[in-house]
Chain A
Amino acid sequence: MDRRPVSRSIGHVGLALVIAFGVLAGGAGYWQVFRSPDLSSAADNPVVIAAARDVVRGQIVDRDGKVLATTKRDANGDPYRVYPDRSVSPIIGYASRRYGTAGLERSYAAQLIGVTDPDPVRNLLKKFESNPSDPQTLTLSLSLALQKAAVKGLGDDRGAVVMLDPRTGEVLVLASTPTFDNSAIANPATEDKGFAAVRDAASQPLLNRATQGRFVPGSVFKIVTAIAALGSGAIDATTTFPNQAKAERDGLVVNGFRIREHPGVPVRTFDLAHATEVSSNIFFALTGLKTGGANLADYAAKLGFDGNVGFDLPVAPSQVTNGNGSAPGGFVDEVELANASYGQAETFVTPFEMALVASTVAHGGILMKPHLVTALTGRSGTRTVAPEIFRQVISPNEAAAINAAMVRAVEGNLGKQFTPGAAVPGIVTAGKSGTAELGGKGEPHSWFIGFAPADNPQIAIAVLVERGGRGAQRAVPLAGSLLKTYFDTVGR
């Protein structure tokens, strides 16, 4: 008969409780130390809301020191925000007592108010200071001059332009049109009218089209397909498809569905560079089928399609498919995969994500972590944000092959017909235009992504004009002129 003393199992129970309480202490440590910085700077944390009422927020300035956001005081002496140039309104957002915050004013609320210090040690010691608030001035990599040029270029159209330095991930332009009068929302005297004007507008100015708008990509998506195909080893730069010539003439039959080529593509078999130059749907459909849905979805994820790329503003997720299907990668069947491979089907992307795709090809297959804020300056000094590698997506050789193909698309004899005006005079430019068919009536979305100079890329660009017509009509010449402006002003 087992008569082990009860005291022994009491010891076990005691040990279990000690472990359980150890877990509790660990949990407290997780929230109080490990997660403390990001939770304490959340825009809806009461400490941030409370501090925001009477603290003068730090300024926001562009790369040249031009003021993008500053503070004035009303008749009662209460501070309110003023935004000198509305071309940056989708980035800066607003800080209003009544309507809360948006944009960088939201994501950097804690730093602008100064409730958290970028330096963890100072943050810890802060509670011992008499005036703990140390509002930070944000310096952005943004170029106000280029931003204004982009907004002016988009004109009355709705659209977006993203330009970034592929070597560092610094964003120079993040334009979304229409812009809005964020000063009117921040000013207590005009806040109601100002907010009502943008909230009810059919053009949805509060939607940052660059980071939050999701659009059918059309042919610019072929670069994603190329990245997946080369990266997974499904094809190389010399791969050709023997059945292509016939498909170019009669259409490519996938599971009984016939994919047709657009006019102007020669009826023969050719490789990646040639296919990119003439923007062959058939070639990229065949490439996508060979690559497979799993690889396509996988490489899209590697390129940051889920939107979690550590950017300073929230980025909507892009997608290659709804993911409802049971075929690899979430595709419904090979028909969807083939169509997605040249940017139709259920493919939706943000202009920001397509700029990252161009940037990855430009920087030898390395995607740098994109960022807007390059420095935070307060009483305690300046902390700069260093460039960071987000991921090596493909090898330099594979990137070089796509780079060469994109040069052909802009500089090649046939390519020029699709991309008139993209090339910057005197500088070898790489790119890909896109015409996103939306079905039904109306103009397609006009796209261009690219970078320059092709042999040593300094700037990557993505341009989207909603319902702007064929790529060549609207996005391509705008991209060309913005690249030229870049090299005339910022670039050396």
Chain B
Amino acid sequence: MAVVSVAILIGSISLALAQRDPDAKPGGLEPAEPFHLAVYLGVLWLAHIAQVLAGRRTDQVLLPAVGLLGGISLLLMERLPQNLVVQTLGDTDLGLADVQLVWLVLSIVLAAAIAVVVRSDRWLRLYKYTWAAAGVALLLLTFVLGTEINGQRLTLSFGPVSGQPSELLKVILVVFLAGYLSENRSLLVEQSTRVGPISLPPVPYLAPMVAMWAIALGIVVVQRDLGAALLFFAVFLLLLYTATGRPGYVVLGLILFVVGAFVMYQLVDHVRTRVDIWLNPFADPSGAGYQVVQSLYAFARGGLLGTGLGGGLPLVSGRLPIPAIQTDFPLAALGEELGLVGITAILGIYLVVIERGLRIGAAARDDFRALLASGLALVVGVQAFIIAAGNLKLIPLTGITLPFISYGGSSLLVNGIVVGLLLALSDKGVEPPPPPRQPGRLARLTRRAAG
């Protein structure tokens, strides 16, 4: 039954894609496009069938919802000028949509592979500190060896392969936090240091975690990647609340955030520029505020119903009005061509993805899996929120990707990992969790001291 519903859903997606496709390029379809569509839908189907054949009883809604977002991405990349990205492979030049299709396919394959293969979470559960160390090492490596693009040192290149490790780091952060919080959850809930009306977390238990967070945040700010810093911090806070159920932690975190943001604003030029642009982009509409103003213009041109795919984004001197549209402003492009109706639908699909992830978390058999699943869902949800809110001038713009839609290999592959892990966690047939471990050595010590 569930399988049938998935089939229908995927069928409707394919239909929707097919129907929208002719509109994408008025005046003749390029031959590559039906091919793109066939490949994409074929892989999506195969990903689903593979899970069924492997006997996995995974979540039935997550993959189609993500597939729909990926389909929107493919359409958008086909609609944008293909020469925004050109990768030469042998004798053939691959344009924007070609490259994006390759990444989408790899991402789905990765997700399906994880969903089919992973039947145990031991490798994540047991080695959280190893993962954390690996993440920090990855970041340090980027900082030392990374290539600088647009004043941000985010990209790590090995020969022809390059990627942005901070994308992977967010998954590692969730794995670590899930491991740490599930192990120390009861202690975090139980003990507290009260200062006035606010109950503070027990200091010894939060220290390693705050340190991990501070390292990540510090490096990221040194790298000038505000979006990732914001994402990490928000996910950290939300997971902390999920684990403890105590709003006091969130309040404390927000206070820390306000203090940190204020200090950053005073000290770091880059941050100040971003905030000033956010406060009034129209002060310098052709200079500093250009990108944001053009994004808002694009949304405004879309209106309620949008201009239709291919009907928007007038060229200025032969160029698209919004720089970095394929990575940082896909929502503005979609907002123009699909209108408020389309934007609301896309936001709705994200909510479906988040809901599925959180539901997987809520149904999990132990705290680690619950926190891991909700953490992964939160990474997707919070990241989508941060960049969408930046595009809409609700918060300062930060250059992070819109999950599943933005152009970019690292982002798509990592989100593929996220989906794969969520699917694997959703299967009731996975290896049962180990019995709860004894609280950490530190806890036993303090308890003894207290007793």
A interface residues (Cβ-Cβ under 8 A, vs B):
1-4, 6-14, 16-18, 20-21, 23-25, 27-29, 31-33, 35-36, 39-40, 42, 44-47, 49-51, 124, 127
Assembly CA distance A2 to B394 (angstroms): 37
Q: List 7 A-B contacts (CB under 8 A).
A: A4-B245, A7-B361, A9-B243, A10-B358, A24-B347, A31-B300, A50-B314
Chain A residue with the shortest CB-CB distance to B366: A6
Q: Is B280 an interface residue (CB 8 A)?
A: no
Residues from chain A with a CB closer than 8 A to the CB of B382 are 17
In the bound complex, do residue A28 and residue B343 qualify as a contact, i.e. CB atoms below 8 Å apart? Answer: yes
Q: Which of A1, A24, A35, A36 contacts B394 (CB 8 A)?
A: A24
Residues from chain B with a CB closer than 8 A to the CB of A36 are 299-303
Q: Is B315 an interface residue (CB 8 A)?
A: yes
Residues from chain B with a CB closer than 8 A to the CB of A2 are 189-190, 245
In the bound complex, do residue B394 and residue A18 qualify as a contact, i.e. CB atoms below 8 Å apart? Answer: no
Q: Which of B186, B243, B286, B303 has its CB near the most chain A CB atoms (within 10 A)?
A: B303
Q: Which of B185, B189, B358 has its CB near the most chain A CB atoms (within 10 A)?
A: B358
In the bound complex, do residue B242 and residue A46 qualify as a contact, i.e. CB atoms below 8 Å apart? Answer: no
Assembly CA distance A13 to B351 (angstroms): 12
The 6 closest A-B pairs by CB, nearest first: A39-B300, A7-B362, A50-B314, A27-B392, A9-B245, A31-B299
Assembly CA distance A87 to B335 (angstroms): 44
Q: Is B177 an interface residue (CB 8 A)?
A: no
Q: Is B399 an interface residue (CB 8 A)?
A: no
Assembly CA distance A142 to B420 (angstroms): 69
In the bound complex, do residue B351 and residue A6 qualify as a contact, i.e. CB atoms below 8 Å apart? Answer: no
Q: Which of B300, B363, B367, B394 has its CB near the most chain A CB atoms (within 10 A)?
A: B300
Q: Which of A7, A9, A42, A124 contacts B304 (CB 8 A)?
A: A124
Q: Is B433 an interface residue (CB 8 A)?
A: no
Residues from chain A with a CB closer than 8 A to the CB of B189 are 1-4
Chain B residue with the shortest CB-CB distance to A28: B343
In the bound complex, do residue A25 and residue B347 qualify as a contact, i.e. CB atoms below 8 Å apart? Answer: yes
- In chain B, positions 342-367 with a C-beta closer than 8 Å to chain A are 343-344, 347, 350-351, 354-355, 358, 361-363, 367
Assembly CA distance A47 to B314 (angstroms): 6
Interface string of B383-412 (1 = CB under 8 A from A): 001001100111000000000000000000
Residues from chain A with a CB closer than 8 A to the CB of B381 are 17, 21
Residues from chain B with a CB closer than 8 A to the CB of A127 are 305, 307-308, 311
Beyond A13-B241, A46-B321, is A39–B296 a contact (Cβ under 8 Å)? Answer: yes
Q: Is B63 an interface residue (CB 8 A)?
A: no
Beyond A21-B351, A24-B389, is A13–B358 a contact (Cβ under 8 Å)? Answer: yes
Beyond A32-B302, A124-B304, is A9–B385 a contact (Cβ under 8 Å)? Answer: no
Beyond A31-B300, A33-B303, A124-B304, is A13–B374 a contact (Cβ under 8 Å)? Answer: yes
In the bound complex, do residue A21 and residue B385 qualify as a contact, i.e. CB atoms below 8 Å apart? Answer: yes
Assembly CA distance A50 to B301 (angstroms): 13
Q: Shortest Cβ distance from A382 into chain B, in angstroms? A: 24
Beyond A2-B189, A10-B361, A13-B358, is A25–B350 a contact (Cβ under 8 Å)? Answer: no
In the bound complex, do residue B304 and residue A33 qualify as a contact, i.e. CB atoms below 8 Å apart? Answer: yes
Chain A residue with the shortest CB-CB distance to B362: A7
Chain B residue with the shortest CB-CB distance to A22: B347
Q: Is B94 an interface residue (CB 8 A)?
A: no
Residues from chain B with a CB closer than 8 A to the CB of A8 are 245
Assembly CA distance A356 to B385 (angstroms): 47
Q: Is B61 an interface residue (CB 8 A)?
A: no
In the bound complex, do residue B392 and residue A31 qualify as a contact, i.e. CB atoms below 8 Å apart? Answer: yes
Q: Which of A2, A7, A46, A49 has its CB near the most chain B CB atoms (within 10 A)?
A: A46
Q: Shortest Cβ distance from B321 into chain A, in angstroms? A: 4
Q: Which of B243, B301, B307, B350 contacts A6 (CB 8 A)?
A: B243
Q: Which of A4, A14, A27 contacts B358 (CB 8 A)?
A: A14
Residues from chain A with a CB closer than 8 A to the CB of B294 are 46
- In chain B, positions 287-322 with a C-beta closer than 8 Å to chain A are 293-294, 296-297, 299-305, 307-308, 311, 313-316, 321
In the bound complex, do residue B186 and residue A3 qualify as a contact, i.e. CB atoms below 8 Å apart? Answer: yes
In the bound complex, do residue A18 and residue B351 qualify as a contact, i.e. CB atoms below 8 Å apart? Answer: yes
In the bound complex, do residue A42 and residue B244 qualify as a contact, i.e. CB atoms below 8 Å apart? Answer: no
Interface string of B56-81 (1 = CB under 8 A from A): 00000000000000000000000000
Residues from chain B with a CB closer than 8 A to the CB of A11 are 358, 362
Beyond A23-B394, A28-B335, A28-B343, is A6–B361 a contact (Cβ under 8 Å)? Answer: yes
Q: Is B285 an interface residue (CB 8 A)?
A: yes
Q: Shortest Cβ distance from B303 into chain A, in angstroms? A: 5
Assembly CA distance A11 to B377 (angstroms): 13
Assembly CA distance A20 to B299 (angstroms): 19
Assembly CA distance A31 to B297 (angstroms): 8
In the bound complex, do residue B241 and residue A35 qualify as a contact, i.e. CB atoms below 8 Å apart? Answer: no
In the bound complex, do residue A50 and residue B385 qualify as a contact, i.e. CB atoms below 8 Å apart? Answer: no
Assembly CA distance A11 to B311 (angstroms): 40
In the bound complex, do residue A32 and residue B245 qualify as a contact, i.e. CB atoms below 8 Å apart? Answer: no
Assembly CA distance A447 to B335 (angstroms): 52
In the bound complex, do residue B305 and residue A13 qualify as a contact, i.e. CB atoms below 8 Å apart? Answer: no
Residues from chain A with a CB closer than 8 A to the CB of B301 are 36, 39-40, 45, 47
In the bound complex, do residue A6 and residue B370 qualify as a contact, i.e. CB atoms below 8 Å apart? Answer: yes
Q: Is B339 an interface residue (CB 8 A)?
A: yes
Q: Which of A1, A28, A49 has its CB near the most chain B CB atoms (within 10 A)?
A: A28
In the bound complex, do residue B296 and residue A9 qualify as a contact, i.e. CB atoms below 8 Å apart? Answer: no
Assembly CA distance A14 to B302 (angstroms): 29
Assembly CA distance A124 to B371 (angstroms): 46
In the bound complex, do residue B388 and residue A10 qualify as a contact, i.e. CB atoms below 8 Å apart? Answer: no
Beyond A21-B350, A47-B301, is A1–B389 a contact (Cβ under 8 Å)? Answer: no
Q: Which of A20, A32, A40 contacts B340 (CB 8 A)?
A: A32
Q: Which of A3, A25, A49 has its CB near the most chain B CB atoms (within 10 A)?
A: A25
Assembly CA distance A177 to B371 (angstroms): 73
In the bound complex, do residue A14 and residue B354 qualify as a contact, i.e. CB atoms below 8 Å apart? Answer: yes
Q: Which of A1, A9, A10, A13 contacts B190 (CB 8 A)?
A: A1
- In chain B, positions 206-247 with a C-beta closer than 8 Å to chain A are 238, 241-245
Assembly CA distance A180 to B286 (angstroms): 27
Q: Shortest Cβ distance from A24 into chain B, in angstroms? A: 5
In the bound complex, do residue B351 and residue A17 qualify as a contact, i.e. CB atoms below 8 Å apart? Answer: yes
Q: Shortest Cβ distance from B193 into chain A, in angstroms? A: 16
In the bound complex, do residue A10 and residue B242 qualify as a contact, i.e. CB atoms below 8 Å apart? Answer: yes
Beyond A24-B385, A50-B316, is A44–B285 a contact (Cβ under 8 Å)? Answer: yes
Q: Which of A1, A10, A49 contacts B316 (CB 8 A)?
A: A49
Beyond A10-B242, A24-B389, is A33–B367 a contact (Cβ under 8 Å)? Answer: no
Residues from chain A with a CB closer than 8 A to the CB of B354 are 14, 17
Beyond A6-B242, A14-B354, A17-B385, is A24–B286 a contact (Cβ under 8 Å)? Answer: no
Residues from chain B with a CB closer than 8 A to the CB of A17 are 351, 354, 378, 381-382, 385
Q: Which of B297, B343, B389 contacts A42 (CB 8 A)?
A: B297
Beyond A29-B340, A42-B297, A47-B314, is A10–B370 a contact (Cβ under 8 Å)? Answer: yes
Q: Which of B367, B371, B374, B389 contacts A27 (CB 8 A)?
A: B389
Residues from chain A with a CB closer than 8 A to the CB of B190 are 1-2
Chain A residue with the shortest CB-CB distance to B351: A21
In the bound complex, do residue A28 and residue B299 qualify as a contact, i.e. CB atoms below 8 Å apart? Answer: yes
Assembly CA distance A20 to B381 (angstroms): 10
Residues from chain A with a CB closer than 8 A to the CB of B388 are 24
Chain A residue with the shortest CB-CB distance to B181: A6
Since A16-B238, A24-B389, A40-B303 are in contact, a sample of 11 more A-B pairs with Cβ atoms closer than 8 Å, ordered by chain A residue number, is A4-B189, A9-B242, A11-B358, A17-B381, A20-B385, A21-B385, A24-B388, A24-B392, A25-B340, A31-B299, A32-B304
Assembly CA distance A3 to B185 (angstroms): 9
Assembly CA distance A28 to B297 (angstroms): 12
Residues from chain A with a CB closer than 8 A to the CB of B362 are 6-7, 10-11
Beyond A10-B242, A18-B351, A40-B297, is A33–B285 a contact (Cβ under 8 Å)? Answer: no
In the bound complex, do residue A32 and residue B350 qualify as a contact, i.e. CB atoms below 8 Å apart? Answer: no
Q: Shortest Cβ distance from A466 into chain B, in angstroms? A: 31
Chain B residue with the shortest CB-CB distance to A37: B300
Assembly CA distance A203 to B243 (angstroms): 71
Assembly CA distance A11 to B361 (angstroms): 10
In the bound complex, do residue B241 and residue A9 qualify as a contact, i.e. CB atoms below 8 Å apart? Answer: yes
Residues from chain B with a CB closer than 8 A to the CB of A45 are 297, 300-301
